[in-house]
Amino acid sequence: MTAKRRPPKSKKSRRESVAERARRARTLYTRLQREYPDAHCELDYRTPFELLVATILSAQCTDARVNLVTPAFFHRFPTARALAGADPAEVEDLIRSTGFFRNKTKSLIGMARALDRDHGGLVPANMAALRALPGVGRKTANVILGNAFGINEGITVDTHVTRLAGRLGLTRQRDPLRIETDLMALYPRPRWTMLSHLLIWHGRRVCAARRPRCASCTVSDICPSAFRVR
């Protein structure tokens, strides 16, 4: 009697296990760190106050444009107290080219007044106090804590990190806070700030929103989206 042949197994891809995703996440970090050994925050600043101002200005604007604006801004308003008493029209004129200048002016002056009133003009080094400042959300607070104070409280999730975390299969989430939670579970705390820099640098230089350069990507062989995005 002839044995019946079993139907061929489905070619549907197997879901990646938690352990496999963790191993791939470590490999991604190692390769990106090797590719970008000098990765860092690309906003120019000398003090926590300057970084806070620059980060608020960077919303919907490139770091390069912000870096063109801030030298004159910091010369005119070097401290929180100076900015707290600023004429809004003057601030608007200085930051106009960064876009959304009226809303940013309101946030900057409000932030400076809160710093001068509640913190002696100094930028606080904790999440709750930072988020209480006008114009400061969790993303901005993560930037300040990680870069100005060396505190890994969370992971900065901007448009580049959102895009790459999804393409690289590190998360299926779209909400920034949920993306941050998934990434924090994959990487040890000491790597959180640098992880953001590595993903941002790779997003700006290789993994663009349109037409990513997969052929020259250092992680294309372990990227589930490689050569699929057009």
- Sign of dihedral through CA atoms 26, 170, 62, 148? negative
- Can you give the pLDDT at residue 18? 86
Q: Is 44 assigned a catalytic role?
A: no
Mean pLDDT of 182-196: 98
Torsion (CA) 89, 123, 148, 126 in degrees, nearest 10: -130
> For residues 218 and 164, is the Cβ–Cβ distance under 8 A?
no
- Can you give the pLDDT at residue 77? 98
CA 21 to chain centre: 21
Mean pLDDT of 177-206: 98
Rounded CA-CA distance 186/16 in Å is: 14
Torsion (CA) 40, 188, 220, 34 in degrees, nearest 10: 50
- Nearest alpha carbon to residue 113 among 86, 147, 145: 86
- Can you give the pLDDT at residue 11? 39
Q: pLDDT digit string (tens) for 100-122?
A: 999 999 999 999 999 999 999 99
Mean pLDDT of 73-95: 98
- Can you give the pLDDT at residue 14? 64
What are the distances in angstroms from CA 33 to CA 28, 196, 206, 225?
A: 8, 11, 14, 20
- Can you give the pLDDT at residue 52? 98
Q: Is 4 assigned a catalytic role?
A: no
Mean pLDDT for all residues in the chain: 94
- Can you give the pLDDT at residue 25? 97
Mean pLDDT of 84-94: 98
Mean pLDDT of 72-87: 98
Mean pLDDT of 67-92: 98
Domains of the chain and CATH, by start: 18-39+155-222 (1.10.1670.10), 48-122 (1.10.340.30)
- pLDDT tier at 15 (50, 70, 90 boundaries)? confident
Among 104, 116, 139, 182, the one annotated catalytic: 139
> Does the pLDDT of residue 12 top 50, yes or no?
no
Mean pLDDT of 161-173: 97
Among 11, 158, 182, 221, the one annotated catalytic: 158
Higher pLDDT, residue 17 or 11 = 17
> Does the pLDDT of residue 43 top 50, yes or no?
yes
Q: pLDDT digit string (tens) for 50-69?
A: 999 999 999 999 999 999 99
Give first-to-last CA distance, the chain, whole Å: 53
